[in-house]
Amino acid sequence: MSALVCTECQARHPLTAPIWRCRCGGLLDIVHTPKLDPAAVAKLPPTPHAQPITMGEGFTPLLPIKLERVRFLAKLDQLFPTGSFKDRGAAVLMSQVAALRIRTVVEDSSGNAGCAIAAYGARARIVCHIYVPSANSPGKLAQIAAYGARLHRVPGTRQNTADATLAAAEKAYYASHVWNPFFFEGTKTWAYEVCEQMGWRAPDAVVLPVGNGSLLLGAAIGFRELRDMGIIGDVPRLIGVQAEGCAPLAQAYKQGLAEPTLVEAAQTVAEGIAIAAPVRGRQILEAIHASRGTVLTVDDDALAAVQHALAQQGLYVEPTAAAGPAGVVRVRQLGVLPAGATVVTSLTGHGLKTLHA
Ligand SMILES: Cc1ncc(COP(=O)(O)O)c(C=O)c1O
Ligand SMILES: [Zn+2]
């Protein structure tokens, strides 16, 4: 039976419960038994939700790229309706919110998740209160406001914004891309698409930017389901990429810790992954260890160089979205993977979002 399951007290709640965390305060995961017939997908895509809130998103191109003599594949997730991969999660989460007949939600974000929740909220006529750090990209804040969401600018760090939102979530449903497990049911489609586009095979490794892990954990869920259904042999190695200036997961990985280390709120051009205290940090580290992956860091100079090099090939991404490709190059420099390994990353956000930068 499908259910929401608490990661702390193991309590089970029905999928239709209008909750975003357990009574005990614990993080919720979704358990269910996936069923997929690749042959049927080719004929007719399955309809996952009775009344989806959708803009026809998904199935972004999987493009071969060469950077500093390194060859890899990248999902062009900057091409989503709101310009980032966060639409994967927002489409599923806001479909669930609409089905539950919830009329008002709160969400906090460095910008892109806020854009996605606000856009899908607008389509479903759900009132969205979006909390953002006041110093983040003005383009993202303008985009959130354009969708008609109520924008709350919070001075200080990303953590200050998260704290303000948790307080607001005492009274409203928290459409969180971190806490809410339905968001990960959307981001897991990244793994399904990669496999389908590779002829129902998994790559050897995936290299993904990681702040709160909404893409990396979604990918982990998707690949695990594909493995459990016997469609792929094994989960690819999951390699997380953090900014040198804010790397609680990379530090924990290096030190062999199960929980992220405490870091100072940091200065980095990669605002999307400047997360000092990732709520699902333990889960992220577990998923990486289970796949024999790793977490590495890239500095702002490397991000700027890769952002520029991609633009020279026609691919305009925001600084945070250079982290995946920069991580692939780093993986090669460090010799983490055997030569000839197939590696897939994502261009997670559009360059038009950060024109001021
Ligand atoms: C462009 C971009 N890439 C990657 C990420 C990282 O996502 P997560 O924090 O869920 O790991 C974000 C998050 O906001 C983002 O905006
Ligand atoms: Zn619980």
Pocket test for ligand 1, best of 87, 112, 207, 298 (most atoms within 8 A of CB): 112
Q: How many CB atoms lie within 10 A of CB 174?
A: 19
Per-residue pLDDT, 44: 58
Proximal ligand: closest to the CA of 85: 1
Query: How confident is the model over 139-180, as pLDDT tens digits?
Result: 999 999 999 999 999 998 888 999 999 999 999 999 999 999
CB 303 within 8 A of CB 269: yes
Pocket test for ligand 1, best of 348, 353, 354 (most atoms within 8 A of CB): 348
Proximal ligand: closest to the CA of 249: 1
Is 349's C-beta closer than 6 angstroms to any atom of ligand 1?
A: yes
Query: How confident is the model over 175-234, as pLDDT tens digits?
Result: 999 999 999 999 999 999 999 999 999 999 999 999 999 999 999 999 999 999 999 999
Does the global pTM surpass 0.85? yes
Ligand 2 midpoint to CA 22 (Å): 5
CA 315/CA 123 separation, integer angstroms: 29
Ligand 2 midpoint to CA 4 (Å): 10
Query: How confident is the model over 294-332, as pLDDT tens digits?
Result: 999 999 999 999 999 999 999 999 999 999 999 999 999
Burial class (CB in 10 A: 0-12, 13-18, 19+), 166: middle
Per-residue pLDDT, 204: 98
